[in-house]
Chain A
Amino acid sequence: MHHSITRSTSESRIAAVMAIILVAALAAAPWWGSTAELRLIGEFMIYLSLASLWNLLAGYAGLISVGQQAYVGFGGYMLFTCAIYLGLNPLLAIPVAGVLGALVSIPVAFLVFRLNGAYFAIGTWVVAEVFRLGFAQISSLGGGSGTSLPIKVMKAMAGSKWMREAMIFETALLLGIGTVLAIYLLLRSRIGIGLTAIRDSQIASASLGVRVERIKLVTYVAVAGMTAMVGALIFITKLRITPDAAFSVNEWTAFVIFIVVIGGIGTIEGPIIGTIVFFVLREYMADLGSVYLMILGAMAIAIMLVAPKGIWGYVRERFNLSFFPVGYRVKLDTEKALKPTDTPGGT
C-alpha cells in the first residue's frame, strides 16, 4: 500500500495564498484607510496577539494564567520609562520592553510555578496586583494617577501625524501577524511537538521524556516578553498610562480569555476566529455596557459546557479542516484504504 506523509492540506495552501493577499492589503491600509479604520485594525491586531499568546500559555502549556495583565502593564510602563527618561524612540523601546518583560517573568515564574493548576491562576493574579500597587508607588511615573507621553517624544518618532499613525499601525500589524506566525512556527518545531504532547497528556509526555517543566518555563517567559511588547504598543496608542488601566484584569485578561474560549482553545485558528467574533459583537453591543460583558461571560460559559473546543473545534470536527497544519497526516493512495473499518497493515 502506498502512502505519503504530508503537513500541508489543500485548504491550508489556499488559505496561505489568501492570507498573503489579505496581509498585503492590510499593510497598505495607511494609504487607503481613515484614522478610525487604522485604529480599529490596530486594536484588532493587539487583541489577536494577546489572545494567541494566552492560548499558547493555557491551551498548549497548560498554564492557566489570569494575570497576564501584569506583563501588558509592565510593558507599558517600561515603554514610558524608556521614552521619557532614556529618550528612546518609542518604537525602539517596544523590543526593550519585551526583553525586560521576559527578564522580570523569570523570578515571577520561580514563585508562581510552586502553585499547582488552579491555584496557579490566582497566584498570577496576585503578581499582577503587586505590579499594579507597586507602580502606583512610583511617583516619578505619576504614582496612582499615572502619566502621559510628552508630545516631544511622539514628535521625535516622526514629524507628521500621518507618518506616526502609519508607523504605529504597521507595528501593530507586525505584532499581530508576527505572533500568529511565530506560534505556528514554534508549534512545528521540536519545542512545539513537546507542547502539543503536554496539551494532550502531561503525564504521558513526561514519561516519554518530554521535559515538561522546562518547556513550560520557556513558554511562560517567551509569552511574558511578547505580551510586554504588545503592552508597550498599547500604551503608545493610548498616550497615557495609569496603574488601573495598565493592569486591568478585564481588558487584558478577561476579554482575551473569552476570545480564546469562544474561538477555540488549543488551536491556532481559535484566537483568530474568537477575535473576529469579539470585534463583531463589540460593534453591535458595546453600547449595552455591563450587559455586553454579561453576555460575553455567558457565551464563554455556554461554550465551555456545550462545545469546550469552541467555534473552531466544532467546525474542525465537522469538516476536518485545518488552516495551520501543525501535525502530520498520512495520505493513503487508494481510496478504499481510507475506510475506517480497515485496520492499518491489514493487507
Chain B
Amino acid sequence: MDWVNAIVQGILIGGLYALFAAGLSLIFGVMRLVNIAHGDFIIAAAYLAYVVISATGLHPLLSLVFVVPVAAAAGYVLQATILNRTLGDDLLPPLLVTFGLSVILQNGLLEIFTADSRKLDAGLLDIQTVSVLPGVSVGYMPVLMFMTAVLVIAGLQYIFYRTALGRAFRATSDDGEIAQLMGLDNRKVFAAAMALSFAVIAIAGVFLAVRANFDPFMGPARLIFGFEAVIIGGLGNLWGTLAGGVILGVAQAIGAQIDPGWQLLAGHIAFLVVLAVKPRGLFPRIEG
C-alpha cells in the first residue's frame, strides 16, 4: 500500500508542478521568452501571501483575491518596462536580464524575510483527509491543489483558443509584424501574456506555501520542475504540461520510496529519459 499511496501523492503533487509549468509555457508560447526568474517570482508570491495573511488574518486561499491581481499587475509592469526592451532576434538579453532578476529576488527576499523557512497555515484543510482506496487516504489540500491545476489549465486553454485575447496571443506569436497591422500592439500583447503568467505564478506560490515550508532560495528548483514538466509534456501543449507535471511528481514519489536521497534525482532522470527518447515531449502539439 505504501507504493500506491506514494504514487497517488505523486500524481497530486504533479498538479502543483503543472501550475509551475503553465505560466512558463504560456510566455514561451507567446513571445519565445524563458523567464529564468519564474521560480523566484513563485516564491515572491508566497511571501506576498504571507505578508497579506500576517496583516489581515485571511485564510491563505482567500488571500489569492489580493495576491493574484497584484502579481498580474507586477507582471504587466515588468514586461512593459523591462522585458519588452530585451526582446528581439538575440536570445541572450532576455535570458541574462531574467537571470539577474532571479539573483536580485533571492537576495532581496533574504534581506527582507531572512533565511528562516515559513509556511502558510490552511487550518482544517491541512489536516483533513479523505479515503480514496482501502488504506490510501489523501489530504483535502493536495486534492484541492490538483483540482485547481486542472481548472487553471482549462481556463488558460479557454483564453487561448476561445477569446479575443487568446487570438491576439496566437497571432502575435505566429507573425508579430503582421499582427501589428491588425491593430495589435506587440508590447501590450506581451505585457498581457506576462500578467496572465504572473496570475498563475501567484496561485502556484500560495499552494506551494500551504503545502510545505518555503525560503528565499527555493525558486530555481521550482523553475526546473516547471521546465521539466513543460518538456516532458511537449512544447506548446497545456494539457501535456499537466501530464508532464504528473509524470514528474510520480517519478519523484517513486524515487523517494526507494531512498529519500533519490527523490529529486528520479524526477530529473525521468526528464532526461524523455529528452533522450522523445525530445519533442510525450504529447507535442500537432502542427497544422
Question: Which positions in A face B, CB cutoff 8 Å?
Answer: 58, 62, 64, 66, 110-111, 114-115, 117-119, 121-123, 125-127, 129-130, 133-134, 136-137, 144, 249-250, 254, 257-258, 261, 265, 290-291, 293-294, 296-298, 300-301, 304-305, 308
Q: Is the CB of A122 within 8 A of B265?
A: no
Specify which chain A residues have a CB less than 8 angstroms from the CB of B101 in the assembled complex: 297, 301
SS of A interface (majority): helix
Q: How far is the CA of A293 from the CA of B268 in the complex (A)?
A: 29
Nearest A residue (CB) for B224? A126
CB within 8 Å for A126 and B34 given contacts A111-B275, A296-B103: no
Q: Is the CB of B271 within 8 A of A126?
A: yes
Nearest B residue (CB) for A290? B107
Q: Is the CB of A118 within 8 A of B99?
A: no
Q: Is the CB of A130 within 8 A of B272?
A: yes
Q: How far is the CA of A126 from the CA of B264 in the complex (A)?
A: 11
A-B contact pairs, 20 of them (CB 8 A): A110-B276, A115-B275, A122-B36, A123-B227, A123-B231, A123-B275, A126-B227, A127-B272, A133-B261, A137-B262, A137-B265, A144-B261, A257-B96, A290-B108, A290-B111, A301-B96, A301-B101, A304-B100, A305-B93, A305-B97
Specify which chain A residues have a CB less than 8 angstroms from the CB of B94 in the assembled complex: 118
Q: Is the CB of A130 within 8 A of B268?
A: yes
Q: How far is the CA of A266 from the CA of B32 in the complex (A)?
A: 23
Specify which chain A residues have a CB less than 8 angstroms from the CB of B188 in the assembled complex: none
Q: Is the CB of B82 within 8 A of A301?
A: yes
Q: How far is the CA of A319 from the CA of B224 in the complex (A)?
A: 43
Give the shortest distance, in Å, between A117 (CB) and chain B (any CB).
5
Q: Is the CB of A305 within 8 A of B85?
A: yes
Q: How far is the CA of A297 from the CA of B107 in the complex (A)?
A: 10
Specify which chain B residues have a CB less than 8 angstroms from the CB of A308 in the assembled complex: 90, 92-93
Residue of A130, A144, A257 touching B269 (CB-CB under 8 A): A130
Specify which chain A residues have a CB less than 8 angstroms from the CB of B86 in the assembled complex: 304-305
Specify which chain B residues have a CB less than 8 angstroms from the CB of A118 in the assembled complex: 28, 32-34, 91, 94-95
Q: Is the CB of B224 within 8 A of A122?
A: yes
CB within 8 Å for A111 and B100 given contacts A66-B36, A308-B93: no
Residue of A111, A125, A133, A258 touching B220 (CB-CB under 8 A): A125
Specify which chain B residues have a CB less than 8 angstroms from the CB of A62 in the assembled complex: 91
Per-position binary interface string of chain B over residues 76-115, scored 1 when its CB falls under 8 Å from any chain A CB and 0 otherwise: 0000001001100011111111011111101110110000
Q: Is the CB of A111 within 8 A of B108?
A: no
Q: Is the CB of A300 within 8 A of B36?
A: no
Specify which chain B residues have a CB less than 8 angstroms from the CB of A129 in the assembled complex: 221, 224, 264, 268
Nearest A residue (CB) for B226? A122
Specify which chain A residues have a CB less than 8 angstroms from the CB of B279 in the assembled complex: 114-115
Q: How far is the CA of A265 from the CA of B97 in the complex (A)?
A: 14
Specify which chain A residues have a CB less than 8 angstroms from the CB of B33 in the assembled complex: 118
Specify which chain A residues have a CB less than 8 angstroms from the CB of B228 in the assembled complex: 126
- In the A-B complex, the 4 residue pairs with the smallest Cβ-Cβ separation, listed nearest first, are A118-B34, A290-B107, A297-B103, A114-B279
Those of B241-288 within 8 Å (CB) of chain A: 261-262, 264-265, 268-269, 271-272, 275-276, 279
Nearest A residue (CB) for B94? A118
Q: Assess whether B223 is interfacial by the CB under 8 Å rule.
A: yes
Q: How far is the CA of A137 from the CA of B106 in the complex (A)?
A: 27
Nearest A residue (CB) for B276? A111
Residue of B220, B223, B268, B275 touching A114 (CB-CB under 8 A): B275
